[in-house]
């Protein structure tokens, strides 16, 4: 790997982790991992930068049918592959799969809501939507400018009728390295929790 990539397994993963933490703590804020992904090769460099940061031998992942991404993630991590219904991290490159993936992704339990999946979703669409979001990390409400992919993902998440505080975390990733997070407790203003 060291001959294929210039990505530093310590310094670059720390940089990506800090950016992910910033994005997760500030829903709808966009951060960039472009500088780190430039040190990697292949079609899914942003996913690889995130995968090298999030994956280890204690968590599982699913490439959601993308064989090329599966090989790349296995090359750069020690994380075992798992079925969509069991994986801790789901890497979604084909948004047409989103309905099936949301139906299968683990959402935690009432006792352990944090034992849920995180979906990393490729978002290559233009920002044509504005959604009102509220929840932890947002002061009051924020108007989030996003793509139709984000709207679809949020609508599909809401259709799962998770019981509070269960759900799945969403990380949207562009090919240029922009990353935006919408944690499971952040909602659209017009959505409702099921108690």
Residues 155 and 9: their CA atoms lie apart, in Å, by: 36
**C-beta separation of 95 from 122 below 8 A:** yes
Antiparallel, parallel or unpaired: β 142-147 and 127-134: antiparallel
What's the CA gap between 31 and 12, in Å, rounded?
15
Q: Please tell me the total count of domains within the chain.
A: 1
100, part of any domain: yes
Q: What is the pLDDT of residue 154?
A: 96
- Taking all residues of the chain, what is their mean pLDDT, rounded to a whole number? 93
139-180 confidence digits (pLDDT tens): 999 999 999 999 999 999 999 989 999 999 999 999 999 999
**Which carries the bigger pLDDT value, residue 19 or residue 8?**
19
Parent domain of 136: 11-185
- In CATH, what number is assigned to the domain containing residue 159? 3.40.50.11310
């Amino acid at each position: 790997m060291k001959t294929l990539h210039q990505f530093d397994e310590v310094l670059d993963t720390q940089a990506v982790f800090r950016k992910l933490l910033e994005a997760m703590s500030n829903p709808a804020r966009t951060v960039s991992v472009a500088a780190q992904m430039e040190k990697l090769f292949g079609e899914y460099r942003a996913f690889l930068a995130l995968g090298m940061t999030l994956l280890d031998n204690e968590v599982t992942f699913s490439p959601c049918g993308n064989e090329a991404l599966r090989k790349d993630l296995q090359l750069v991590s020690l994380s075992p592959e798992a079925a969509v219904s069991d994986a801790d991290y789901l890497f979604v490159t084909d948004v047409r799969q989103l309905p099936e993936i949301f139906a299968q992704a683990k959402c935690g339990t009432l006792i352990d809501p944090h034992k849920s999946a995180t979906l990393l979703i490729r978002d290559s669409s233009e920002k044509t939507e504005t959604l009102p979001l509220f929840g932890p990390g947002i002061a009051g409400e924020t108007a989030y400018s996003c793509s139709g992919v984000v709207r679809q993902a949020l609508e599909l998440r809401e259709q799962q009728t998770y019981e509070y505080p269960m759900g799945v975390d969403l990380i949207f990733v562009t090919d240029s390295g922009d990353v935006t997070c919408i944690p499971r407790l952040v909602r659209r203003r017009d959505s409702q929790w099921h108690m």
